[in-house]
A = this chain, B = another copy of it.
Amino acid sequence: MQTFITENFLLQTEAARRLYFDHVQHLPIIDYHNHLSPEDIAENRKFKTITEVWLNGDHYKWRAMRANGIDEKLITGDADDYEKFKAWAATVPYTMRNPLYHWTHLELKHPFNVNELLNEESAEKIYNQCNELLQTKYSVPEILMYHKVELLCTTDNPTDDLKHHQQIAQSNSKLKVYPAFRPDIFLNFNERNEWLHQLQLLEQSTKSSINSPDDFLTALQSRIEYFHNNGCRLSDHGLEFMPLYSTGIKNYESIFSDLLQNKNVLQDDLDSLKAYVLFELCKLYYSKNWVQQFHLGAMRNNNSRLLKLLGRDAGTDSIGDYKQAGNLSVFLNELDKENKLAKTILYNLNPADNEVFATLAGNFNDGSVAGKIQWGSAWWFLDQKDGMEKQLNALSNMGLLSRFVGMITDSRSFLSFSRHDYFRRILCNLIGNEIENGELPSDFNWLGDVLTGISYRNAKEYFGWNIKLNT
C-alpha cells in the first residue's frame, strides 16, 4: 500500500498550502536542542543498517514495542539488526495515530524516498533499500544537508572536552554545531556515587580541587567559559520541578562537606543546596548572555528492572504531576530582582501545566528583548500533532505566538529532522484554518512572514550566534 505522506500532508486548506509552499517549506533548520552525537558528525559517520540509526537508542520505539507484546530480546537484546527491524516493522501498524506512525513514514520518505507503508510484509524490502542508501549516499553530513540543517546544538556534560565540536568547527563544513551546557548530574545529589565520580572528572578537567561550594562553582564557571569559547550559548537543566530558592543564609559549606564525605544529608538541605547552586549558575548564564533552558516535570526511571538492565533513557519515563508554579516563580523573580535574569525557555512535560507555564513566562518579560521569556515547544510525549496544537494555541492565547523561537527535535537520531517539517505543516494548517474561518485577516505576506519567524528567523535572532571561534 502506498504511503499517505503526500505533498499536502496535514495541509487541509488552500490557505494552509499557500502559507507552507510559499513561505516555510524550504527554510533551513536551526535545531537548538537535541541529543545528537557530535562525534558522529565530526567523523562523517556511515551507518551499516537503519537499525543502527533508527532503533538503537530510540526509547520511544522501545516503549511501543513493549506495549505491543514484543520480547525485550528483539528490542534491546541480542537479536540481530534485521530481526529487530522486523519486530519494529510488525509493530508499526499497531502505532496508528501515535506520532511514531507519522514519524516513521515521514522518515522513510525523507531521505530514503520510501513510499510504501512499513509493516511485516514490506519490512525486508525497505530494510535493504534504506541500508543501501545509508552505506552509499546518506552519511551523517549528507543527511544533515538533505534536511537543510544550518545550525544545531548538542547537549553536553560540563566536563566534555568538546573536541568533536572543535573538529567540526575546523572543518570546511558550513554546518554550525555548538555545544549546550547541561550540568544535571552535578545537581543530582541523590545519585551520590555518580555525583562524586563526576566531581572527580570536573576536578580533572579544571585542574582544581573542589572542597566547598565556592570551589564547585568556580570549577563550573571555568567550564562555562570553556563552553562559551567553543560556541556554546545555551544551558539546559532537567528537573522534576524547580527547587525552592531562598535568599536566607544557609550553611551550604557544611552540607557540601557532608556530601563530599558521603554522609547522610536531609532532603531539605539537598534541595536548598541545589537551588543555591542553580541560582548561581543562572547568574553566570546571564553574565555570558546565554539562553537558559529548563525542562520540568518528567518522572524518570520508573521501572527498576529495566533501569538495572539498560540504564537511563530506557523508555520507562513518564509525565509527573509535580507542583510547578510557586517555586519557579520565586526563582525567576529573585533573578529578576538582582537584574540577572537571562533569556529563558521553560518547557513543561505535563500538558495540564500548559497554561501555568504560558502565563508564568509572561510575568518576567521586561521589554529588553522581544520574547525574552519563552514557553518552549511541545516536548517529548507532547511532541505530536495534538500536543503541538495545544502548545501553539495556549501560547497564542496567553502570550505572543509571533515571537516564538519554534521547534526542536530533542532527538538522539539523525533521522528525526522531518519533525521540523511536521511542525511547520501543523503550524501552517492552524493559521490557514483561521484565515479561511475569518478569524485572521487573509494577509498572506504578513502571516507568511510571521510563520517564517517561528520556523526559522526568531531563533536566529534570539540566540545571537554571531560567533567567531578561536579556531
Contacts and interface: CB of A to CB of B under 8 A. Distances in A.
The count of identical subunits is 3
Contact of A320 (B64, B325, B446): B325
| Interface size, A (range) | 35 or more
A245 B106 CA distance: 43
A95 interface: yes
A450 interface: yes
B440 A364 contact: no
Nearest to A396: B97
A300 B466 CA distance: 38
B326 A299 contact: yes
Interface string A74-103: 010000000000000000011111110010
B365 A329 contact: no
Interface string A338-354: 00000000000011110
Contacts of A350: 355-356
Interface in A393-449: 393-394, 396-403, 431, 434, 437-443, 446-447
Contacts of A318: 325, 329, 356, 359-360, 362-363
A12 B434 CA distance: 11
Interface in A378-399: 381-382, 384-387, 393-394, 396-399
A222 interface: no
A323 interface: yes
Contacts of A72: 366-367
A1 B321 contact: no
Contacts of A117: 441
A188 B400 CA distance: 33
B67 A303 contact: no
A447 B319 contact: no
A96 B401 contact: yes
A367 B400 contact: no
A403 B67 contact: yes
Nearest to A73: B367
A144 interface: no
Contact of A367 (B65, B369, B393, B443): B65
A336 interface: yes
A212 to B, nearest CB: 30
A319 B359 contact: yes
Interface in A440-471: 440-443, 446-447, 450
A248 to B, nearest CB: 16
Contact of A363 (B71, B303, B326, B397): B303
Given A65-B367, A72-B367, A97 B319 contact: no
A401 B333 contact: no
A43 to B, nearest CB: 34
A311 interface: no
A63 B399 CA distance: 8
A72 B352 CA distance: 32
A94 B402 contact: yes
A386 B381 contact: no
A223 to B, nearest CB: 31
A317 interface: yes
A368 interface: yes
Contact of A329 (B65, B299, B369, B438): B299
A36 interface: no
A318 to B, nearest CB: 4
11 contacts: A2-B441, A67-B362, A71-B367, A93-B446, A94-B400, A97-B440, A117-B441, A302-B333, A319-B356, A321-B323, A321-B353
8 pairs of A and B residues whose beta carbons are closest in the complex: A97-B396, A69-B370, A318-B359, A66-B365, A352-B352, A302-B363, A4-B441, A316-B363
